[in-house]
């Protein structure tokens, strides 16, 4: 067990990309259009380290967006391996099959970088990285995994360190999804999803499709900006239903004084 954990933790890849320059002073910079947004701070983006737990469908989408926007550092943790059935929605190709997702994803995302992002991928689980004493600090953490055990572990770990976490997930019909932002001192994952503290079963092979992943990852990308710059946000929980039979909603969830997760210590 220990040997397996240790050998996976050694799966590691770091790629440094270069900023795309026009070479001509009269041509707008690569970030020109987003810099025109009044509340957008390119400086903030280029000085932020995002750590993503999960390099699958959600991690792929949000990773591509962060790379394009020009994030300074992007780190992935995932112990899973690429399968043929991932290729219809995750940023992998046929030659990646059988390889570790975190390591392959940073290689593939490097091509999307515009402002010199440093990508690092670790082929191990978040819980194993904690045991192995990895430096898991970042400015913002993204938790796009498929199981509640990891969500609970991530919530607890980063709440103690006052680092914000953006949780995102899609439902088992691939029709709906949510984004929840756990901010320092605010409600935790357990406050927002008390039923998830009980249900910690391993995930099954549920349906998955590109559209809902893109929508949910887009909301999470916006949430990143609201944490590091002045872009406005009047919610800490937002969900979306593509079919429109249930209303999509934006909520401000409060801390639950009886939450067993954030009242532990």
Cβ proximity to Zn ion: between 66 and 191 the closer is 191
Distance between CA atoms of residues 241 and 227, nearest Å: 24
Least distance in angstroms from the C-beta of 155 to Zn ion: 8
Of 13-21, 92-100, 188-196, 202-210, which part binds Zn ion (CB under 5 A)?
A: 188-196
Q: Under 8 Å CB-to-CB from 157, ≥6 apart: which residues? A: 126, 130, 136
Cβ proximity to Zn ion: between 136 and 261 the closer is 261
Phi, psi of 90 (to 5 degrees): -105, 160
By CB atoms closer than 10 A (0-12, 13-18, 19+), residue 30 is middle
CA angle 236, 173, 108 (to 5 degrees): 75
Distance between CA atoms of residues 49 and 229, nearest Å: 14
The residue within the footprint of Zn ion, chosen from 11, 168, 227, 261 (CB under 5 A), is 261
The residue within the footprint of Zn ion, chosen from 65, 123, 144, 190 (CB under 5 A), is 190
Cβ proximity to Zn ion: between 119 and 180 the closer is 180
Maximum distance among all Cα pairs of the chain, rounded to whole angstroms: 59
Cβ proximity to Zn ion: between 143 and 188 the closer is 188
Cβ proximity to Zn ion: between 45 and 262 the closer is 262
By CB atoms closer than 10 A (0-12, 13-18, 19+), residue 142 is buried
Of 19-27, 32-40, 56-64, 184-192, which part binds Zn ion (CB under 5 A)?
A: 184-192
Cβ proximity to Zn ion: between 26 and 198 the closer is 198
Phi, psi of 123 (to 5 degrees): -85, 50
Of 82-90, 131-139, 228-236, 256-264, which part binds Zn ion (CB under 5 A)?
A: 256-264
Residues 177, 214: contact at Cβ < 8 Å? Answer: no
Inter-CA distances, 161 with 42, 136, 184, 185, 258, Å: 26, 10, 8, 10, 21
Cβ proximity to Zn ion: between 114 and 256 the closer is 256
Of 2-10, 97-105, 190-198, 230-238, which part binds Zn ion (CB under 5 A)?
A: 190-198
Least distance in angstroms from the C-beta of 30 to Zn ion: 41
Q: Does 193 bind Zn ion (CB under 5 A)?
A: no
Mask 63-92, x = binds Zn ion (CB under 5 A)?
Answer: ------------------------------
The residue within the footprint of Zn ion, chosen from 153, 188, 223, 240 (CB under 5 A), is 188
Q: Does 167 bind Zn ion (CB under 5 A)?
A: no
Check residue 195 and report its DSSP letter. Answer: G
Place of tokens 């300074």: 72
Q: Does 259 bind Zn ion (CB under 5 A)?
A: yes
- The residue ranges that bind Zn ion (CB under 5 A) are 188, 190-191, 259, 261-262
């Amino acid at each position: 067990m220990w040997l397996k954990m240790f050998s996976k933790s050694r799966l590691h890849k770091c790629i440094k990309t270069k900023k795309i320059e026009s070479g001509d002073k009269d041509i707008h910079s690569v970030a020109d259009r987003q810099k025109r947004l009044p509340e957008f701070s390119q400086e903030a983006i280029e000085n932020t380290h995002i750590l993503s737990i999960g390099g699958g469908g959600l991690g792929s989408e949000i990773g591509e967006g962060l790379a394009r926007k020009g994030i300074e550092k992007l780190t992935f943790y995932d112990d899973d391996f690429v399968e043929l059935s991932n290729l219809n929605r995750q940023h992998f190709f046929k030659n990646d099959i059988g390889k570790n997702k975190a390591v392959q994803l940073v290689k593939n995302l490097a091509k999307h970088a515009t402002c010199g992002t440093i990508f690092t991928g670790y082929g191990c689980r978040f819980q194993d990285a904690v045991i192995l004493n990895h430096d898991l600090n970042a400015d913002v953490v993204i938790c796009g995994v498929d199981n509640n055990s990891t969500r609970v572990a991530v919530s607890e770990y980063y709440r103690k360190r006052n680092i914000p976490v953006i949780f995102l997930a899609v439902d088992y019909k691939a029709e709906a999804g949510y984004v929840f932002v756990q901010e320092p001192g605010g409600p935790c994952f357990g406050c927002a999803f008390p039923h998830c503290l009980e249900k910690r079963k391993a995930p099954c092979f549920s349906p998955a499709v590109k559209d809902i992943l893109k929508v949910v990852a887009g909301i999470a990308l916006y949430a990143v900006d609201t944490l590091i710059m002045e872009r406005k946000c009047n919610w800490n929980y937002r969900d979306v239903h593509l079919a429109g039979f249930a209303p999509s909603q934006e909520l401000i969830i409060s801390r639950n004084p009886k939450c067993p997760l954030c009242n532990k210590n």
